Structure 1
Amino acid sequence: MNSNLEKTFIAFLKENQRIVHKVCRIYTDNKEDHEDLFQEITIQLWKSFPSFKGDAKFSTWMYRVALNTAITLFKKAKKNDLTTAIDVSSLRIEYETYEDDEHKLKIMYQAIYTLSDIEKALIMMYLEDKSYREIGEILGITEGNARVKMNRAKNNLKQQLNTK
């Protein structure tokens, strides 16, 4: 294993770790699942890192891998348990907790959790102040399609929040 590649990966991951936590927060509803998904996303990022060419920003690429992993895993999880045979313990990645104690945020995350997988991703990126162009790039859709999907996701979220 190339130690420079490993050092670069760890530096990028540490710098952008909050992205992974946010994806985990949107797609899980308890600490154990959050930690499991964090590990699975980290594994997928590490496996894919050699193919990262820098055409897009690292954070954009990381969002894409993290969202695809979360969506794919939870579709598979409905059929069977999550298992991965890759050992990433040698990477020495420090897991930082990401907790929000504010009641309003908890209610919003609960409402987001009820949305579809794509709507969760859209709302998360909206909360990150991503442009429609960036959202489209991350999801592999046009900017116009990102706008349409975002409006639907916002309306669905408003409906969820109004019922709570």
Structure 2
Amino acid sequence: MDEKELLTYYKQTGDLNTLGKLYAPYMSLLYGVCYKYLQDEERSQDAVMQIFEELIVKLRGHEVENFKSWLYVYARNYCLMQLRKGKKITNVDIEDNLYESEQQLNQSDEEDWTEGDFKKLETCLGTLNNEQETCVRLFYLEQKCYRDIAEITGFDLNKVKSFIQNGKRNLKICMEKK
């Protein structure tokens, strides 16, 4: 069975062996994503297992077109949620965040991203100036609005918009070069 068939079968039956077959190929990729954010081997391993447990329920209720992209976004947001918990920030609704991210991925015409693409993106983010990188990360990775970014960073609202626009353009140029 291919990935879509496994996903459909899991949604119909709730068979954990099927979910395991769907999840197993991505465990090392997810560990890398979790480690990038959590910076701790044990927490990252725990996160990979916790994400699997959450998928038992989440996948049966969500329409997922591209499992790999959806799973990457879910893992990233899971890690961000863990980091927020550590900072005692509780006013963020992660479910809405996940749903919006999933919808953005499903509505876009993106090709399937490989682990190399995500590494390239992370590398290119590092080439941006500090203001652009901060604003791009807050806007795209943490789904903050312009106003929230301005409050967090202390930048003027128009500067935030400019940093995001220029950062996005510079990211695109960097990604195309690599």
TM-score, normalised relative to structure 1: 0.45
Which structure shows the bigger proportion of residues in helix conformation?
A: 2
TM-score, normalised relative to structure 2: 0.42
Question: Whose relative contact order is higher, 1 or 2, with alpha carbons under 8 Å and at least 6 apart?
Answer: 1
